[in-house]
């Protein structure tokens, strides 16, 4: 039972970050492999402004999110757009975002040093009892936030005009441009939002493990896995994928040891991809001739 | 005051499709471009709409060139295209599709809502308002596509094969709608059609496109009466 | 035979070659032998400084060993990524499996080292096969993600599995009482790793020999019909299957092959360094292998070698570190990039400035210059549009000498379609169509846009499975067979937009059309037995005959993408002929052609009929149809509207009104 609750909470963390993969995939059919570094970027920016005592914690979070959003939009414009020009088989953007990840990781390490730094911003201390399992408040906050963010995104995509544009772009970017909307601009905005979410995740996560350059790496793997399991084209996908992945890996590591937990999670990805390449909630894209 | 295509050359990748096409659409004018498959009709409208790049030649509206602007900007300035095969957003509802059309008209509001008149004339649109677009029949989809384009408040409307895949009866209905759009919006319409006869009946002027070149132009009735069209399509005169 | 290979072949042995300057060794086997000798020579020169085992040479030998390991892994990845265009981020995982499995089998398993190596490679192949079967439905990013997941999974197991010593590495003092594997002994020789001063690093000899062999074998594969099939898959899987390639099977094979090469890279690491640390097998490794391929030139024979040597040298030399120091000195002591960051920058710069990599860029330059020279030689005459598609009487008589063409059995029905229908969702694209085509017949299919003609062509060639009805070919049921099986049965096709390998030469495009592309076994491609040389020569002669038939003789060595549009169509027809089909389905062959070219196309199609080929021509140009067709089928709204001779169909009022969109009553 403990493992189940902890797995769900952990799944929440992955689901929150997975949302940034899903967002960019829905609108641009690309993934940013440097998301892990945006997690760290957010955490360190917030750390840098932690001393601004006049700014409430929410404001500090906002600074971190904004910086990551701007860098994210620029990354899309200059490192993704030039490398996705040759149709759906063109995956050079994948290599360029990996390269970006190297550069950012290296830069952050050189500037901040490799060891974790304590982050107090937006930090809840203590634990609460959930169905008999002790869960740290911070982790619970992240999991709850994952649900809130997902619901907000779903509502926004259904009810707002920006959401309408996003759905239109995901279905047919060319026709969207005939409606006076630039798909490239939509992509930049989406990247900004997605990297903002990554930065938010990073800040809240840093409050539990400290801010370090490599803090995003384990999250990256798990959240790609979660996004793929849930379905890269579904906003609800991360919650389902996160729950499955989190519970499976937590229960497995509880029973057989930590190493098998992650292995089981990643094997889940392979099983799901074989069975449903589009993910559990994903929409199958028709093959056009 | 017109939309002008001036010695346009373009094509996909390495294959040239258009070899110096020139034509003109005046405000409120219905101009048909007819020609067999592969003549370059679709390439022509896609280039005017900004989906293909111009290799040489120029595109002008009211005298100023727009050959280098993006498709989105052209749509916002009132050059609106209805693509071949309708291209509705399949998972959006009818209402949302039409709402997307309105995006292109932002900043050009005022006057009566052009969509309202169409909704009055075709109550089926209101009935289907909340239905997902890919569940509509071909004829209904074409109506939604045209309404979506009208919502963009076109100054010039480019129609690519509106009759494609429709039964003769539905085709008639679509042509009736096109006629109505012209009356209500006063937009200049460039109609690219394989169903030459109907297009030429509806149009004021016409161009015959053959192998990427204009082989004949003139008043639609003249073109319709000529052997040129029959030859262009069937390769046989008379 | 590779299609994307930038290096050109020797001049073909035709009358044409007399006009061109002779290339170095003209005979294919001599060129291959020379390449092999050169590869081995480079390999041995690389280890010469280590022959005395002196202290300073040890680090140099380690550098060579790293380069060799990286080269082997990159060569494998290049087959996958450069030719088949499957971007795998999992190569580092196979590298790690190869390294650890070898060490573990020797130390804990007590296997003979050679057996352990074989076992490790087999394991890589097996894991590769499982991943390949699992991921072959995925495209683009999803495929990359699953391979990345594999690499990370392997890294985690190595990092955290107690069996492999975790961070203490493998082997380690606590578990094995030593930090190095014992040198392996083979046939009484001790193969010393380059670790100890004043001991000759004998293991380097087999290592560089194997590396050279891998490069040679990969060159053989890349230039074989097997390699062509990979390029075809990279271009379009649909195209590949129409060339008779079993795409699924071929993709799994190449992935397994790449995995084994990846593992071999790891084996070399184990042999040369005797100790494994999990952190050297991280994501950075897998990305470095990808970078080596991209940097050197993906899809070229020497690219991975050049890239691997270059990257390893960059990473291990002081240059990047010094660059880092320079930044610290002149820019900021904090805001600077050190080695991994600079590698990232290099990666991005390569993508921006040199997307074809070092070898690819140089190759393109050389080829461009050669082609300009060729065109000048031809006085430009060949590029005139007026040349059209000549299929002269001479060409016809040339061709009929060959017994391969299916003449002589004209009349008996070759293709019989009965009641075939196809629904997409609720839409009936084709309903209840019958079609019979005999040998030596041209059957034209016409109809207005959206009538279902292309769907019919796709039903015939296996792209779509019919919802109802049956298709029989040569008395055999082919209903619902996959495209590659239909192709192998003897149905070739061309496409609405010519689907060619634009960067390959005209000759290579035709060569890709031969049945060998789908049928050559991997071993024959890799080892290149004498029969392969004979077959290559045969294919080349036949390809030139076909190019002559379609009027492209002068363009043999031009890049296909530089042909005028009309000639691209002709080339596609030549490629279709290369598969020795009985029936060719041509989807709008005259689309986009000029009037003169269309006339030439008509001549060509008539000459094909004279050779006994059956043709189904989906077409809009009525003058062409009227001229060449024996029978015409007119479709409208997915159904048969009219059938008969061209005169009958084209004068049918129903057909006329369907085309011109006239309401029927105007005619009554």
Regions of chain B where pLDDT drops below 70: 11-16, 37-38, 232-238
Are the Cβ atoms of B194 and C448 closer than 8 angstroms?
Answer: yes
Q: How confident is the model at residue C12 (pLDDT cuts 50, 70, 90)?
A: very low
| Chain Cα centroid distance, residue A4 | 22
Which residue carries 């539905």 as its tokens?
B170
Question: What pLDDT score does C650 carry?
Answer: 83
CA distances, C246 to each of B183, B221, C484 (Å): 57, 55, 6
Chain A residues touching C336 at Cβ < 8 A: 107, 110
Q: Cβ of C156 under 8 Å from any chain A Cβ?
A: yes
- How far, in Å, CA of C629 to CA of C621, rounded? 12
Sign of the Cα pseudo-torsion (A176, A181, A187, A192, in order): negative
**What mean pLDDT is reported for chain C?**
84
Task: Report the domain count for chain B.
Answer: 1
Chain B residues touching A187 at Cβ < 8 A: none
CA distances, A109 to each of A44, A70, C6, C345, C532 (Å): 11, 21, 41, 16, 55
Helix axes A161-171, B94-103, angle to 10 degrees: 100
Instruction: Indicate the Cα dihedral angle C229, C530, C258, C317, nearest 10°.
Output: -120
Percent of the residues in chain C that have a pLDDT greater than 90, as a whole number: 46
User: How far off is chain B from C482, nearest CA to CA, in Å?
Assistant: 28
Chain C residues touching A31 at Cβ < 8 A: 141, 145
- How far, in Å, CA of B164 to CA of B153, rounded? 24
Which of C387, C507, C506, C447 lies closest to C652, judged by CA? C447
Percent of the residues in chain B that have a pLDDT greater than 70, as a whole number: 93
Indicate the range of C144-148, C195-199, C213-217 predicted with least confidence. Answer: C195-199
Sign of the Cα pseudo-torsion (C593, C594, C599, C600, in order): negative
Residue-range domain boundaries for chain C: 34-281, 393-667
- How far, in Å, CA of C449 to CA of B38, rounded? 11
Are the Cβ atoms of C656 and B199 closer than 8 angstroms?
Answer: no
Are the Cβ atoms of B75 and A182 closer than 8 angstroms?
Answer: no
Question: What pLDDT score does B237 carry?
Answer: 38
CA distances, B173 to each of B127, B135, B170, B189, B204 (Å): 18, 20, 5, 17, 19
Are the Cβ atoms of A262 and C156 closer than 8 angstroms?
Answer: yes
Question: What pLDDT score does C372 carry?
Answer: 61
Are the Cβ atoms of A102 and C341 closer than 8 angstroms?
Answer: yes
B20-77: pLDDT as tens digits: 899 999 999 999 998 876 678 888 999 999 998 888 899 999 889 999 999 999 999 9
Instruction: Indicate the Cα dihedral angle A87, A91, A92, A93, nearest 10°.
Output: 100
Q: How confident is the model at residue C373 (pLDDT cuts 50, 70, 90)?
A: low
Q: How confident is the model at residue C392 (pLDDT cuts 50, 70, 90)?
A: very low
* Chain B adjacent subunits, 3+ CB pairs under 8 A: A, C
Which of C600, C577, C566 lies closest to C399, judged by CA? C577
Is it the case that residue C225 has pLDDT exceeding 90?
Answer: yes
- Segment C621-643 shows an average pLDDT of 89
> Could you tell me which residues are beta bridge partners of residue A130?
A133
Chain C residues touching B195 at Cβ < 8 A: 448, 660-661
Per the CB < 8 A criterion, the answer to whether C619 and C602 are in contact is no
Per the CB < 8 A criterion, the answer to whether C586 and C613 are in contact is no
User: How far off is chain B from A278, nearest CA to CA, in Å?
Assistant: 17
Q: Which two tokens stand for residue A149?
A: 């963010």
Question: What pLDDT score does C579 carry?
Answer: 93
According to CATH, the topology of domain C34-281 is: ABC transporter involved in vitamin B12 uptake, BtuC (1.10.3470)
The beta-carbon neighbor of C463 closest among A111, A274, A289 is: A289
B vs C, Cβ pairs < 8 A, gives 72
Instruction: Using DSSP bridges, classify how beta strands B188-193 and B156-160 pair: parallel, antiparallel or unpaired.
Output: parallel
The range of the structural domain enclosing residue B203 comes to: 3-234
- How far, in Å, CA of C229 to CA of C517, rounded? 5
Which of C212, C211, C195, C194 lies closest to C203, judged by CA? C194
Q: How confident is the model at residue C140 (pLDDT cuts 50, 70, 90)?
A: confident
- In A, minimum Cα distance to B98 occurs at A179
Question: What pLDDT score does C517 carry?
Answer: 92
Mutate which of B10, B11, B15 to test chain C, going by most C C-beta atoms within 10 A? B15
Regions of chain A where pLDDT drops below 50: 286-289
CB-based contacts of A196, cutoff 8 Å, min separation 6: A65, A66, A68, A69, A72
The beta-carbon neighbor of B103 closest among A167, A181, A183 is: A181
Structural domain C393-667, CATH architecture: 3-Layer(aba) Sandwich (3.40)
Per the CB < 8 A criterion, the answer to whether C640 and C430 are in contact is no
Are the Cβ atoms of C568 and B15 closer than 8 angstroms?
Answer: yes
* C252 or C379, which is more confident: C252
Per the CB < 8 A criterion, the answer to whether C621 and B235 are in contact is yes
Are the Cβ atoms of B15 and C592 closer than 8 angstroms?
Answer: yes
Question: What pLDDT score does B16 carry?
Answer: 67
- Segment C615-643 shows an average pLDDT of 89
The beta-carbon neighbor of A111 closest among C134, C335, C339 is: C335
Chain A residues touching B148 at Cβ < 8 A: 179
Which of C276, C290, C286, C285 lies closest to C158, judged by CA? C276
Q: A73-82, A248-257, C526-535, C590-599: which has the highest mean pLDDT?
A: A73-82
Is it the case that residue C309 has pLDDT exceeding 50?
Answer: yes
- How far, in Å, CA of C603 to CA of C64, rounded? 60
According to DSSP, residue C162 is labeled G
In this structure, how many other beta carbons lie within 10 angstroms of the beta carbon of residue C332?
Answer: 11
Are the Cβ atoms of B92 and A179 closer than 8 angstroms?
Answer: no
Are the Cβ atoms of A171 and B70 closer than 8 angstroms?
Answer: no
3-class SS of residue A181: coil
Are the Cβ atoms of A178 and B81 closer than 8 angstroms?
Answer: yes
Per the CB < 8 A criterion, the answer to whether B166 and B158 are in contact is no
Are the Cβ atoms of C344 and A99 closer than 8 angstroms?
Answer: yes
Question: What pLDDT score does A289 carry?
Answer: 35
Mutate which of B13, B165, B215, B228 to test chain C, going by most C C-beta atoms within 10 A? B165
Are the Cβ atoms of C355 and A92 closer than 8 angstroms?
Answer: yes
Is it the case that residue C666 has pLDDT exceeding 50?
Answer: no
Mutate which of B13, B209, B235 to test chain C, going by most C C-beta atoms within 10 A? B235
* Chain C adjacent subunits, 3+ CB pairs under 8 A: A, B
- How far, in Å, CA of C588 to CA of C496, rounded? 5
CA distances, C546 to each of C431, C580, C588 (Å): 37, 11, 21
Which residue carries 């008379």 as its tokens?
B238
Helices (H), A32-80: 35-48, 57-75
Is it the case that residue C69 has pLDDT exceeding 80?
Answer: yes
DSSP symbols for B134-147:
GGS-HHHHHHHHHH
A vs C, Cβ pairs < 8 A, gives 124
- How far, in Å, CA of C596 to CA of A154, rounded? 58
- How far, in Å, CA of C285 to CA of C306, rounded? 17
User: How far off is chain C from B111, nearest CA to CA, in Å?
Assistant: 37
- In A, minimum Cα distance to B91 occurs at A171
Residue B21's domain is classified under what CATH number? 3.40.50.300
Per the CB < 8 A criterion, the answer to whether C261 and C82 are in contact is no
Q: Cβ of B45 under 8 Å from any chain A Cβ?
A: no
Are the Cβ atoms of A96 and C347 closer than 8 angstroms?
Answer: yes
- Segment C222-247 shows an average pLDDT of 92
Which residue carries 């004498």 as its tokens?
C530
Assign domain A2-120+131-275 one CATH number from 3.30.1490, 1.10.357, 2.60.480, 1.10.3470. Answer: 1.10.3470
Q: A191-195, A222-226, C29-33, C145-149: which has the highest mean pLDDT?
A: A191-195
Is it the case that residue C371 has pLDDT exceeding 70?
Answer: no
Which helix (H) or strand (E) segment holds residue C588: the answer is: none
Is it the case that residue C668 has pLDDT exceeding 50?
Answer: no
Are the Cβ atoms of A171 and B92 closer than 8 angstroms?
Answer: yes
Secondary-structure percent of chain C, ordered helix, strand, coil, rounded to 5? 60, 10, 30
Question: What pLDDT score does C73 carry?
Answer: 97
Is it the case that residue C284 has pLDDT exceeding 90?
Answer: no
The half-sphere exposure of C323 on its side-chain side, counting CA atoms within 13 A, is 14
DSSP symbols for B31-86:
EEEE--TTSSHHHHHHHHHTSS--SEEEEEETTEE-TTS-HHHHHHTTEEEE-TT-
User: How far off is chain A from C327, nearest CA to CA, in Å?
Assistant: 12
Are the Cβ atoms of A164 and B50 closer than 8 angstroms?
Answer: no
Are the Cβ atoms of B75 and A179 closer than 8 angstroms?
Answer: yes
Q: Which two tokens stand for residue C218?
A: 């990969």
The beta-carbon neighbor of B87 closest among A165, A175, A183 is: A175
Is it the case that residue C507 has pLDDT exceeding 90?
Answer: yes
Are the Cβ atoms of C660 and B229 closer than 8 angstroms?
Answer: yes
Chain C residues touching A225 at Cβ < 8 A: 149
By CB atoms closer than 10 A (0-12, 13-18, 19+), residue C31 is: middle
């Amino acid at each position: 039972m403990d493992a189940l609750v902890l797995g769900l909470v952990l799944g929440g963390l992955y689901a929150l970050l997975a949302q940034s993969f899903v967002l960019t995939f829905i609108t641009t059919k690309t993934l940013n492999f440097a998301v892990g570094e945006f997690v760290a970027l957010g955490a360190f920016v917030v750390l840098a402004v932690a001393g601004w005592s006049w700014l409430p914690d929410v404001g500090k979070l906002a600074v971190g999110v904004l910086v990551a959003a701007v860098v994210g939009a620029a990354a899309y414009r200059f490192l993704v757009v030039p490398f996705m020009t040759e149709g759906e088989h063109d995956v050079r953007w994948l290599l360029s975002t990996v390269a970006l990840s190297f550069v950012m990781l290296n830069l952050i390490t050189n500037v901040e040093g490799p060891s974790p730094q304590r982050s107090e911003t937006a930090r809840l201390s203590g634990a609460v009892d959930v169905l008999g399992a002790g869960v740290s408040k911070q982790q619970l906050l992240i999991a709850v936030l994952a649900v809130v963010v997902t619901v907000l995104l779903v509502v926004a995509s259904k009810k707002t005009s920006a959401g309408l544009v996003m759905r239109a772009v995901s279905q047919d970017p060319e026709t969207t441009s005939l409606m006076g909307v630039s798909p490239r601009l939509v992509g930049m905005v989406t990247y900004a939002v997605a990297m903002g979410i990554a930065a938010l995740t990073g800040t809240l996560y840093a409050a539990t493990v400290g801010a370090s350059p490599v803090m995003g790496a384990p999250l990256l793997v798990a959240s790609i896995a979660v996004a793929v399991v849930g379905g890269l084209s579904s906003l609800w996908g991360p919650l389902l994928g996160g729950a499955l992945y989190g519970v499976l890996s937590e229960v497995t590591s509880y029973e057989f040891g930590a190493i098998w937990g992650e292995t089981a999670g990643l094997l889940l990805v392979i099983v799901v991809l074989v069975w449903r390449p589009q993910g559990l909630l994903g929409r199958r894209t028709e093959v056009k001739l | 005051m017109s939309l002008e295509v001036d010695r346009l050359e373009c094509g996909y990748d390495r294959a040239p499709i258009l070899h110096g096409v020139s034509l003109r659409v005046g405000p409120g004018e219905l101009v048909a471009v007819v020609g067999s498959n592969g003549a370059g009709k679709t390439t022509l409208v896609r280039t005017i709409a900004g989906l293909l790049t111009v290799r040489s030649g120029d595109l002008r509206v009211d005298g100023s060139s727009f050959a280098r602007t993006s498709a989105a900007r052209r749509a916002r300035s009132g050059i609106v295209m209805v693509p071949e095969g309708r291209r509705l957003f399949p998972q959006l509802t009818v209402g949302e599709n039409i709402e997307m059309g309105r995006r292109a008209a932002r900043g050009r509001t005022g006057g009566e809502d052009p969509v309202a008149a169409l909704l009055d004339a075709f109550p089926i649109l209101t009935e289907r308002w909340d239905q997902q677009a890919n569940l509509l029949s071909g004829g209904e989809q074409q109506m939604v596509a045209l309404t979506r384009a009208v919502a963009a408040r076109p100054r010039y409307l480019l129609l690519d094969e509106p009759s494609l895949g429709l039964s003769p009866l539905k085709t008639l209905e679509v042509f009736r709608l096109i006629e109505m759009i012209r009356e209500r919006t006063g937009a200049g319409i460039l109609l690219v059609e394989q169903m030459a006869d109907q297009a030429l009946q509806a149009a004021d002027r016409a161009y015959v496109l053959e192998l990427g070149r204009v082989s004949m132009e003139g008043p639609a009735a003249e073109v319709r009466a000529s052997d040129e069209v029959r030859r262009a399509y069937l390769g046989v005169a008379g | 035979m590779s299609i994307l290979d930038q290096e050109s072949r020797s001049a073909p042995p035709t009358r044409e070659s007399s006009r061109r300057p002779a290339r170095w060794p003209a005979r294919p086997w001599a060129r291959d032998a020379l390449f092999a000798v050169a590869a081995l020579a480079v390999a041995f020169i690389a280890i010469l400084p280590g022959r005395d085992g002196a202290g300073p040479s040890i680090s140099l030998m380690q550098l060579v060993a790293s380069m060799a390991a990286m080269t082997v892994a990159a060569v494998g990845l290049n087959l996958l990524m450069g030719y088949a265009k499957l971007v795998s981020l999992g190569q580092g995982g196979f590298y790690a499996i190869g390294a650890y499995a070898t060490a573990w089998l020797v130390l804990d398993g007590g296997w003979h080292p050679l057996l352990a190596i074989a076992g490790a490679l087999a394991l890589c192949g097996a894991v590769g096969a499982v991943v390949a079967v699992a991921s072959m439905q995925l495209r683009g990013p999803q495929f990359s993600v699953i391979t990345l997941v594999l690499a990370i999974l392997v890294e985690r197991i190595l990092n955290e599995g107690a069996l492999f010593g975790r961070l203490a590495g493998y082997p380690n003092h606590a578990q094995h009482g030593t930090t190095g594997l014992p040198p392996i002994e083979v046939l009484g020789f001790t193969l010393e790793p380059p670790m100890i001063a004043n001991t000759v690093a004998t293991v380097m000899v087999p290592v560089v020999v194997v590396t050279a062999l891998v490069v040679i074998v990969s060159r053989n594969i890349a230039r074989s019909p097997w390699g062509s099939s990979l390029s075809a898959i990279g271009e379009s899987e649909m195209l590949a299957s129409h060339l008779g390639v079993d795409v699924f099977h071929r993709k799994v094979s190449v992935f397994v092959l790449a995995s084994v090469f990846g593992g071999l890279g790891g084996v070399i690491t184990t042999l040369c360094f005797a100790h494994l640390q999990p952190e050297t097998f991280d994501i950075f490794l897998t990305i470095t292998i990808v970078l080596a391929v991209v940097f050197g030139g993906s899809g070229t024979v020497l690219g991975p070698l050049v890239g691997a040597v270059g990257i390893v040298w960059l990473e291990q030399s002081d240059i990047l570190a010094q660059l880092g120091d320079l930044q610290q000195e002149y820019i900021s002591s904090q805001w600077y990039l050190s080695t991994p960051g600079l590698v990232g920058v290099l990666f991005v710069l390569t993508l921006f400035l040199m997307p074809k990599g070092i070898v690819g860029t140089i190759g393109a330059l050389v080829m461009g210059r050669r082609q300009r020279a060729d065109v000048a030689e031809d006085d430009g005459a060949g590029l005139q549009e007026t040349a059209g598609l000549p299929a002269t009487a001479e060409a016809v008589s040339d061709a009929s000498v060959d017994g391969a063409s299916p003449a002589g059995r004209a009349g008996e029905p070759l293709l019989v379609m009965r009641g075939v229908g196809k629904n997409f969702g609720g839409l009936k694209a084709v309903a209840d169509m019958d079609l019979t085509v005999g040998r030596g017949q041209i059957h034209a299919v016409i109809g207005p846009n959206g009538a279902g003609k292309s769907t019919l062509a796709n039903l015939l060639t296996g792209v779509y499975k019919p919802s109802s009805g049956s298709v029989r070919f040569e008395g055999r049921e082919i209903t619902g067979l996959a495209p590659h099986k239909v192709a192998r049965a003897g149905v070739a096709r061309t496409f609405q937009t010519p689907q060619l390998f634009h960067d390959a030469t005209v000759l290579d495009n035709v060569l890709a059309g031969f049945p060998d592309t789908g049928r050559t076994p991997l071993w024959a491609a890799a080892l290149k037995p004498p029969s392969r040389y004979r077959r290559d020569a045969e294919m080349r002669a036949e390809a030139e005959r076909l190019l002559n038939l379609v009027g492209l003789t002068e363009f043999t060595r031009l890049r296909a993408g530089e042909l005028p549009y009309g000639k691209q169509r002709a080339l596609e027809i030549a490629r279709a002929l290369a598969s020795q089909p009985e029936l060719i389905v041509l989807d709008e062959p005259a689309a986009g052609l000029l009037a003169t070219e269309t006339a030439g196309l008509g001549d060509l199609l008539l000459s094909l009929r004279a050779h006994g080929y059956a043709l189904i021509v989906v077409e809009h140009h009525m003058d062409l149809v009227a001229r060449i067709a024996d029978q015409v089928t007119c479709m409208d709204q997915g159904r048969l509207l009219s059938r008969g001779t061209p005169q009958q169909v084209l004068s049918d009022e129903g057909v006329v009104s369907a085309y011109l969109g006239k309401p029927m009553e105007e005619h009554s």
